Copies of this chain bind each other. A is one copy, B any other.
Amino acid sequence: MITFISYIQQYVSISDEIKKEISDLILIENISKGDILLEEGKICKRIYFIEKGTLRTYFYQKGKDITYWIYPDNSMVTSWHSYLSCKPSSEYIQATEDSIVCSLTYTQWQELYTKYPILERFGRLILEEVIALIDDFYKGYYFMSSKEKYELLVSVFPDITQRANLGHIASMIGISQETLSRIRSN
């Protein structure tokens, strides 16, 4: 299990003073499978680091539960639009396994960025990584068959099948669960 402090150190090297300050501010939560960290309509004030477990973001569209993305341990999760704009979220964040998550608020981060420019660099690097991943993943996505989309997902996220159920995976790549079931049994 990687702690949030050591995760930061994979990107930038930070002083003991910074480590202490982050440790003092950080909120560590043990949550159970099914627990909701963020509800639709609420402002997402926090960005979460998953030390253990899995989270998913999802929303309701035309009455259906649609998984937006699934996040394994050792990754950061928030409702980006809500977190960055301080507007109500249109999505939920839920634990899909018993999990341990660490978080800081948007406000705390702004203060840390100003006080320690090295953390601003960490922030930039994390965002760069997210964008590079999105940019790469979705290239040509529209014109792939359902099978190609599924194979792409499995290639970037090999243990997805152990961590999420059929319905979640299907909606995450934009296909019906019946189609995904047929792809698997091909």
Q: Which of A80, A90, A171 is most buried by chain B, counting CB atoms within 10 A of its CB?
A: A80
User: What are the residues of chain B within 8 A of A123 when measuring CB–CB?
Assistant: 124
Query: Which of these binds chain B: A20-28, A129-137, A150-158?
Result: A129-137
Q: Nearest chain-B residue to A130 (Cβ)?
A: B131
Which of B128, B139, B174 is close to A143, meaning CB atoms less than 8 Å apart? B174
Query: Which of these binds chain B: A30-38, A60-68, A97-105, A160-168?
Result: A60-68
Q: Are A121 and B113 in contact (CB under 8 A)?
A: yes
Q: Are A81 and B136 in contact (CB under 8 A)?
A: yes
Q: Are A61 and B140 in contact (CB under 8 A)?
A: yes
Report how far A85 CA is from B85 CA in the complex, Å: 28
Report how far A132 CA is from B124 CA in the complex, Å: 14
Interface assignment of A127: CB less than 8 Å from any CB of chain B: yes
Q: Are A135 and B81 in contact (CB under 8 A)?
A: yes
Q: Are B143 and A61 in contact (CB under 8 A)?
A: yes
Which of B84, B120, B128, B140 is close to A132, meaning CB atoms less than 8 Å apart? B84
Q: Which of A91, A120, A173 is most buried by chain B, counting CB atoms within 10 A of its CB?
A: A120
User: What are the residues of chain B within 8 A of A81 when measuring CB–CB?
Assistant: 132, 135-136, 139
Q: Which residues of A contact B (CB under 8 A)?
A: 59, 61-62, 64, 66, 68, 79-81, 84-85, 90-91, 113, 117, 120-121, 123-124, 127-132, 134-136, 139-143, 171, 173-174
